[in-house]
Structure 1
Amino acid sequence: MKIQRSYTEYTNLPTVKGSKNAARQSQAVNASNDRINLSDTAKKLLSGAEVQSSHSGIDADKVARLKAAINDGSYHVSAGRIADRMLEAVDEERA
């Protein structure tokens, strides 16, 4: 089977009432009007999670350095170190 048209030509076809594409378009229009209302309990849980994450011992500077190294391609993974640590963990479980 050979497709004669480009993808954009197919996506710009007029929609037939009741078709899946028409349903998607109406969902997209309605999505901008959606609102979320959180209960007081949910708000308390969220604020507690934020406080906990700020005091969880996560080194934000280290996380930022790791993200930067991953993004610029300078972060290297040592398969040997990973294997060694996995074997150490297995040995500790067996003991």
Structure 2
Amino acid sequence: MTRRARRSFTKEFKEQIVQLHASGKPRAEMIKEYELTPSAFDKWVRQSRTRGSFEEKDNRTPEQEELIRLRKENQKLAMENDILKQAALIMGRK
């Protein structure tokens, strides 16, 4: 089985696919016709129904947003801690 190159789709194309599905075109037929993966198709339909957007950042839950924010803050604090350790070593030598 050969791997296909990763493709990217425009927002307009995704909207068109979702609209075709909403108008009654069968899922299997659309997947075959447009050579889509079932997971990508299902993801687009789900994103369109829940948030109306195909952007990942628009479809995050508040918990996911908080987790991302906390990870960034943790990384920043770890970097500041490393800087202070280095400064303490330099000051201790003098």
Report the TM-score, using the length of structure 1 for normalisation.
Answer: 0.28
Which structure would you say has the larger RCO, counting Cα contacts within 8 Å and 6 or more residues apart? 2
Report the TM-score, using the length of structure 2 for normalisation.
Answer: 0.28
Query: Computing the radius of gyration over CA atoms, which structure comes out larger, 1 or 2?
Result: 1
